[in-house]
Amino acid sequence: MSRAERDGQGSPGDAGPVRRRGRRWRRALRIAAVVVLVLVGGLVVLEGPRVAGDAAERSGLDAFYAQPDGAADGAPGTLVKSAALEGTPPGARAWRVMYRSTDLNGAPVVVTGVVVTPRGPAPSGGRTVLAWGHPTTGTAASCAPSRGFDPFLGIEGMRLMLDRGYTVVATDYAGMGTEGPDSYLVGATAAHTVLDAVRAAQHVDGAQAGSRVVLWGHSQGGQAVLLAAETQPQYAPQLDVVAVAAAAPAADLTALVRSHLDDISGVTIGSYAFPAFADAYGPTVPGARLDGVLTPEAVAALPEMNRLCLLSHLGELHRIGRPLVGHFFAVDPTTTEPWASLLTQNSAGSRAIAAPVFLAQGADDELVLPADTDAFAQSARRQGDDVHLEVVPHATHATIAYLAQPALARWLDQHGV
């Protein structure tokens, strides 16, 4: 036998390296399998109690969202009730809350949400509170994020914020979770519910919520937190908003609606927004009626579309909405009164924001267009706002709030928040 054959390198010995490579691959696969098992085991250890707790809480869910007599009687930001949650993120405590707020006219409303805080001692003065504004989930009560099997699932960046030591509060907005007025994109109502969620968290024993506030929202929630920042000095002056962050915010409603007049996104957004506007403004604004902006076919489809949640029933929403594309709007609401004025009135940017502002925009977002967010940023800078715009390559409307988190963390560090 030649040396090459003995060493496994000759023609007959070519199987030697193959066998060795095969052994290396098998060894690597065994190591990978062990790593996967360890990771899965770790997830089971960390998430198992949370899932079990989530399941245990389902039986009493409807009772929590039922408002007791006199629920709306009290100051904005005070608690109606709270309930400690069993299924919580690792290293955290959490509660469902029902609290008081006000609508755009100052009338009392009752709102629900969740509060999450890290375990351990809080800094002197309490923890900074991160107020989260969620993106569109629907308008029916059942679409409220806090009603979900995992009420924390939709809080984008929650782990980042808890690890920074923040208490996190996430409103459902008025009209979701519990009985109340439809408030989809009704800016003043949304802003109030975000700010009053912070004040409600301050009343939760154990939440350790202080007065320093970071506002963070995505899409619909971006509009809510930007308007909350504009409104806070007058509405909740005892709060100290130290930073505002919004991912693909629905900041300019005129631009948003104009971009989607004749596509399925326009039908879906319109099916949620215009009934809310008609409910909010119809009693006081002449002409703010659905039959003045939508076709009869669109008006007839609204009850079915409004009972569906965006994430869990998207296919059904599109099935109903596609035949209405091009036949949804009776007039162009961006140029027809009173709708043109109402869209402007419920857009962000009419008042300066004292705190620094972080805007994240996905380069591949086809819903909130990059050009619209850039235009909003430039307009805000012209009126003196300190605005940082982070455009994330390849990010879409669905992914931008997650993909922007490393940049958001750096920005928060730079501002000492």
Q: What digits encode the pLDDT tens for the residues 104-156?
A: 999 999 999 999 999 999 999 999 999 999 999 999 988 999 999 999 999 99
Instruction: Give the SS3 label for residue 9.
Output: coil
The set of residues, in sequence order, having a beta carbon less than 8 Å from that of 153 and lying 6+ positions away, is 145
Q: How many helices (H) and strands (E) does the chain have?
A: 14, 9
Give all strands of the β-sheet with 127-133 in edge-to-edge order. Answer: 79-84, 92-102, 108-118, 167-171, 127-133, 209-218, 240-247, 357-362, 387-392
Whether the predicted pLDDT of 5 surpasses 80: no
Listed range (25-39, 196-210, 312-326, 328-342) with the worst mean pLDDT: 25-39
Antiparallel, parallel or unpaired: β 108-118 and 79-84: unpaired
pLDDT, average across residues 74-90: 96
Whether the predicted pLDDT of 230 surpasses 50: yes
Average confidence score pLDDT of the chain: 91
pTM: 0.87
| Count of C-beta atoms within a 10 Å radius of residue 40 | 10
Task: Encode pLDDT of 164-196 as tens digits.
Answer: 999 999 999 999 999 999 999 999 999 999 999
pLDDT, average across residues 39-63: 59
Task: Encode pLDDT of 334-363 as tens digits.
Answer: 999 999 999 999 999 999 999 999 999 999
| Count of C-beta atoms within a 10 Å radius of residue 373 | 26
Residue 361 bridge partners (DSSP) = 391
pLDDT for 39? 56
- Regarding predicted confidence, which is higher, 1 or 328? 328
The DSSP call for residue 125 is: T
User: pLDDT grade, residue 60 (50/70/90)?
Assistant: confident
Q: Is the separation of the CB atoms in 113 and 65 below 8 Å?
A: no
Instruction: Give the SS3 label for residue 318.
Output: helix
* C-alpha dist (Å) from residue 325 to 257, 280, 298, 320, 321: 13, 25, 10, 10, 7
Task: Encode pLDDT of 364-399 as tens digits.
Answer: 999 999 999 999 999 999 999 999 999 999 999 999
Burial class of residue 10, CB neighbours in 10 A (0-12, 13-18, 19+): middle
**Per the structure block, which two tokens stand in for 415?**
């501002």
pLDDT for 185? 98
- Cα Dmax for the chain: 101
Which amino acid would we find at residue 251?
A
Q: Is the separation of the CB atoms in 400 and 218 below 8 Å?
A: yes
Residue with tokens 């605005």: 387
